[in-house]
Amino acid sequence: MQDYELASENYFLAYDIFKKIGFENVPIISKFLHDFALFHYYFKNYKEVIKLMQISAKYPPYNNNHHIQLYNNLAVSYSNLGEKKVALFYFEKTRAIAKNYNDKTWEGIASGNIGDIFYKEKKYPEALKQYKNQYDILIKSPFDPIRISSYNNFAKVYLALDSIDKTKKFLGFAETDLNNLRKNKSYGDDQQLESLKRNYFDLKSQYLIRNNNFQEAIKYKDSLANAQYSLDSKYNSSVIKMSSDKLLIQKKELELSRKEEKEAKLQFFFTFIILIFFLGGGIGYFYMYKSRQKKKQQNEKALNYSRNRHTCLNGGQRSGI
């Protein structure tokens, strides 16, 4: 089991240090922000993922894969927050960047993600178009999970469109691949495949019910229940650990937020003091200037009065002679 408490402590400490010295002064800041965002994604802190990815987007990407994932992470986070239009924008951007790098895997994944948004909104023809694009790109992919995901997507949209024969066809593709998985799978692959198997059983049972084959449907419902139980039991300890660690993460986020708020207040206070100082100095200078002008005018009036008086007196003496 990973030590998320220690990881969170170091992530938040590093983030605070990098922010103080300036993100632009850290050579691989985009990689750090990417990793920190994925850490938050694991705990479903989607707003934090968005915040970190938007900061990361201001700096050069660590590599091509990170550049593509940056926008996919934004899209998935917005989708999970229910902001479908923004999610679509970033999925399209993900696909465009993947095309630019000639990364077929990510291009196919992005198409599938766009299809999922249309499917959830029951826009089945639009979803089918995206799933077809995903299928055409990933049909020869060596990665079992994304290829099987493509089959499941086709099956579910054809089922929604009442195209039973095509549903059967792609359920057959999914079943064949699920029964012939490669041996060198990663832990992440196992998690995805367990989930895909559960989705397959669910779709298969729906397909059988649609064909009034209730006896077979019950068998797949049982398989679905077993697959769900397997998922729950296998990853339940991880979920429990994640829940306890999430409280710690939220505490760290609150501490960081309070610290940033305190720094913002201090900055505002010092800015206010400096403003008052300059304003007071400006007002003082203005009044001093006005006072000097007034005194100058008074001196000029006094001088003019003295000159005029002297002229009058001299004029009077001349007329008496």
Cα separation, 174 vs 198, in Å, equals 12
Of the ranges 42-46, 188-192, 244-248, 279-283, the best mean pLDDT one:
42-46
- Please give the pLDDT value at position 188: 56
CATH number at residue 254: 1.25.40.10
The answer to whether residue 202 is domain-embedded is yes
The answer to whether residue 79 is domain-embedded is yes
Q: Phi, psi (5° rounding) for residue 148?
A: -65, -35
Domain, as residue range, for 240: 4-272
To the nearest whole percent, how much of the chain has pLDDT over 90? 43
For residues 125-144, give the mean pLDDT. Answer: 92
Greater pLDDT, 198 or 228: 198
Task: Give pLDDT tens digits for 234-271.
Answer: 544 444 444 444 445 555 555 555 666 666 666 666 67
For residues 26-50, give the mean pLDDT. Answer: 90
Cα separation, 100 vs 117, in Å, equals 23
The answer to whether residue 301 is domain-embedded is no
The answer to whether residue 22 is domain-embedded is yes
Q: Is the pLDDT of residue 97 over 90?
A: yes
Task: Give pLDDT tens digits for 163-175.
Answer: 999 999 999 999 9
The answer to whether residue 245 is domain-embedded is yes
The answer to whether residue 87 is domain-embedded is yes
Count of the separate structural domains present in the chain? 1
What average pLDDT does the structure give for the chain? Answer: 80
The answer to whether residue 281 is domain-embedded is no
CA dist 39 → 90, 240, 259 (Å): 20, 16, 21
